[in-house]
Amino acid sequence: MTDVILEKIGKTYPNGYHAIPSVDLSIEEGEFIVLVGPSGCGKSTLLRMVAGLESISDGELRIRGERMNEKEPAERDIAMVFQNYALYPHMTVYNNMAYGLKNRKVSKEVIEKKVTDVAEMLGLTDLLQRKPGQLSGGQRQRVAMGRAMVRDPKVFLFDEPLSNLDAKLRVQMRVEIRQLQRKLGTTTLYVTHDQVEAMTLADRLVVLNKGNAEQIGTPMDLYNKPATPFVASFIGSPSMNLLPANLVEQGIKISNSLTLPLPHDYRGGVVWGIRPEHLEVSDEQNADFALRIQAVESLGAETLIHGLLEEESKKGIPMVVRLSGPHLPELNSLMWLTAPVKHWHLFDEITQQRL
Amino acid sequence: MTVTFPQKGLPWLLLLPQLLVTAIFFLWPAEQALEQAFYQEDAFGLSREFVGFENFIDLFTDPLYYQSMLTTLFFSFSVAILGISVALLLAVMADRVIRGKLAYQTLLIWPYAVAPALAGVLWWILFDPSMGPIALWLNSAGVDWNHYLNGNQAMILVVIASTWKQISYNFLFFLAGLQAVPRSLIEAASIDGASPFKRFWTIVFPLLSPTTFFLLVVNLVYAFFETFGVIDATTKGGPGQSTNTLVYKVFEDGFVGLDLGGSAAQSVVLMGIVGLMTVIQFRFIERKVQYS
């Protein structure tokens, strides 16, 4: 069943700034949708429009078939977890979680039962009488989630909830959020700028760029078949190697001396891309191109090699290669690489669309 | 951080002006008042006689003094509570204004720059029974306004006149306090289903409570000690004893009644009250209420 529908949703600020031109998205019940994009792409604005904290200028928002545009945040049956948690500092953890229920005139016994249940689920039972100021970052994060969960809303909204945590805690909470969401089966809309978070959490991802949804799909769809160079470079770390090129008779011409063979009937400017993990080391005869090594990042399980293309000193386009296991090539030495055709990504230079 | 000076004399030299001001205008008069309180002096200041605690005994057996104390308490709490409530209301409204915010805020802060005596005169004119516009309007509305005869009306007048100035001061603190309340808290509360009214009383007001408490003490101190000018310009403590606060009584008994010893004894009592309030201020206000 479709749970949340965004139909041609747009946002124009009173000063005329067109933050979001038009976004279409339909979310299935229980689905975990992640809105991802660089800062300023409109992802938080979109989330806040769903929450009712920002007005909707164009289009329609429906939750369970009901139009929500004019409804107050409280009437939309949503719960939101804020980036800074927005816990009420003068209330205990218990009261923070109970506040929304009290406002909805839920009876005391029911409130107590719900709060203790959720607190138990989140491991907050011993902290119920504390104030937010006495909690660690991770605990506050949990309380913020608990506050959202006790109300048992139709939709969870998360606005970069993990960005204030340290790296280790972030990974831990990420896993926990995913498990909780699966367990509760609540439709979730999650905003982040971190593509790793996005890939690991999402059932489906929405990549936003300048207020436009560049691509909507499962993490693997986006990784394997990015629709635009923007998505290609945004999803995956390190990002995809992208080179301007021309499609010619014999194949794809990257520079005067380098033409990769590919039979194709398209002629014209393209953006050619390959992921760092898909480049293969080869010998000089079979190589598609040579890379002058500039820097080596050894991460133990894998090695990232940064280099510049050695092409008649034409441009020196940077390229990254990802190899599994430890490697220690010498700096400034040459590395011979092949780029298997099946891993190529081609985009039209003008329309920026995948070919 | 400790700053060290190469010469020992320089720090003292730099402190000297402030020390002189404190000594001449605060310590010396305080000492004089303390001394005076134990003497009985004739009206012309020609002779005086040591009387021990007699001035204090007179003071604390005088029913008028207790009445003045009650008047002062009533007056001070009225000024503080009225000033704080009105300022809070104005601050909340000014905080919501989007267009012309700065203009509203500036205008609301202006009255603070008006001298107390001037503020008193202003209200005295407005409420003058024979020509004041407000008094005339009240008369036409059926209220027989004459604060020269009616003690309650006189009290209302001095409370209004003293509060008016203080509202600006309180407003400034509340506005800053309101702007320090994170927006996301209000948003979270609105998602949690709290009406704007409820959001204010359950979220914003509790978060402002350190500011409110600070202002309560500051306003009480103001009403106790700094409203001489307003009272002198409007009611002169009258009619009868109805607006004769402790501070005004010091002046009246000393310089009008020419009971210098009694007046000095009252000053000593006031000094004690100031000391007490300072302690309260340091104990409760300096220890900041922390929210994080």
DSSP codes, A101-130: HHHTT--HHHHHHHHHHHHHHHT-GGGTTS
Residue A258 has what pLDDT? 65
Please determine, for residue A150, whether its predicted confidence score (pLDDT) is greater than 70: yes
Domain B64-291 architecture: Orthogonal Bundle (1.10)
pLDDT at position A263: 53
Mutate to test the interface with A, among B190, B192, B200, B201 (most CBs of A within 10 A): B192
Mean pLDDT of A164-189: 89
The answer to whether A291 and A319 have CB atoms below 8 angstroms apart is yes
Task: Provide the pLDDT confidence category of residue A266 given band limits of 50, 70 and 90.
Answer: low
Q: Which two tokens stand for residue B39?
A: 């003497």
Quick one: pLDDT band at residue A249, thresholds 50, 70, 90?
low
Residue of B nearest to A132 (CA): B292
CA atoms within 13 A on the CB side of A298: 7
E strand or H helix at A261: strand A258-261
| Helix, strand, or coil (residue B230) | helix
Write phi, then psi, for A26 (nearest 5 degrees): -125, 130
User: In this predicted structure, what is the pLDDT of residue A254?
Assistant: 67
pLDDT grade for B35, boundaries at 50, 70 and 90: confident
Distance (Å, whole) CA A26 – CA A29 = 10
- Give the Cβ contact number of residue A138 at 10 Å: 17
- Give residue-wise pLDDT tens across range B194-210: 888 888 999 999 888 88
Given an 8 Å threshold on Cβ–Cβ distance, is A80 in contact with B191?
yes
* Angle of helix B151-180 versus helix B101-109 axis, rounded to 10: 140
**Listed residue (A117, A146, A118, A143) closest to A132, CA to CA:** A143
Over the stretch B118-143, which tens digit does the pLDDT of each residue have?
877 888 888 888 888 888 888 888 77
Which of A13, A63, A81, A82 best tests the B interface by mutation, with the highest count of B CBs <10 A?
A: A82
What are the two backbone dihedrals, phi and then psi, of residue A12, each rounded to the nearest 5 degrees? -125, 125
* Closest by Cβ to A86, choosing from B188, B291, B292: B188
> Token pair of A83, please?
């980036």
Q: Enumerate the residues of chain A whose CB falls inside 8 A of the CB of residue B202.
A: 99
Neighbours of A41 (CB within 10 A): 24
Tokens 């041609």 belong to which residue? A8
In chain A, residues with a C-beta closer than 8 Å to the C-beta of B291 are 89-90, 133
A86, closest residue in chain B (CA to CA): B185
Contact across the interface for B193 and A103, Cβ inside 8 Å: yes
Tell me which residues of chain A have a C-beta less than 8 Å from any C-beta of chain B. 51-53, 72-74, 78-80, 82-84, 86-90, 99-100, 103-104, 132-133, 147, 151
Residues of B in Cβ contact (< 8 Å) with A52: 191
- Report the pLDDT value the prediction gives residue B82, as an integer from 0 to 100: 94
DSSP E strands in chain B: the ranges are 39-41, 48-50
Confidence of residue A265 (pLDDT cuts 50, 70, 90): low
Checking if the pLDDT of A11 tops 60, the result is: yes
Chain A residues whose beta carbon lies within 8 Å of the beta carbon of residue B193: 74, 100, 103-104
Tally of CA atoms within 13 A in the half-sphere of A39 that contains its CB: 2
Out of B32-46, B90-104, B229-243, give the one with best mean pLDDT: B90-104
CB contact under 8 A, A86 and B194: no
CA-closest candidate to residue A44, choices A192, A252, A201: A192
- Return the percentage of chain A with pLDDT > 70, whole number: 92
Biggest alpha carbon–alpha carbon distance for chain B: 77
| Among candidates A52, A99, A133 on the partner chain, residue whose Cβ is nearest the Cβ of B192 | A99
Q: Which candidate from B192, B209, B292 shows the least CB-CB separation from A100? A: B192
Query: Residue B124, SS3?
Result: helix
Contacts of A104 in chain B (CB under 8 A): 193
Is the predicted pLDDT of residue B149 greater than 90, yes or no? Answer: no
> What's residue A312's pLDDT?
60
Q: pTM of the prediction?
A: 0.77
Q: How confident is the model at residue A313 (pLDDT cuts 50, 70, 90)?
A: very low
Higher pLDDT, B280 or B23: B23
Q: Cα separation of A320 and A49, whole Å?
A: 39
Distance from CA of A186 to the nearest CA of B (A): 17
Q: Which of A82, A84, A103 sits opposite B198 (nearest CB)?
A: A103
Give A255's pLDDT tier (boundaries 50, 70, 90): low
What is the rounded CA–CA span in Å between residue A219 and residue A209? 17
C-alpha torsion sign, points A228, A229, A234, A237: positive
What integer is the mean pLDDT of B95-118?
79
Q: Across the beta sheet with A334-338, what order do the strands follow?
A: A280-281, A334-338, A289-298, A302-309, A318-324
How far is Cα of residue A189 from the mean position of the Cα atoms in its chain? Answer: 11
What Rg value do the Cα atoms of chain B yield, rounded? 23
Mean pLDDT, residues A208-232: 90
Count of CB contacts below 8 A, A vs B? 62
Q: What pLDDT is attached to residue A34? A: 93
Pairing of strands A155-159, A2-12: unpaired
Tokens of B269: 């009592």
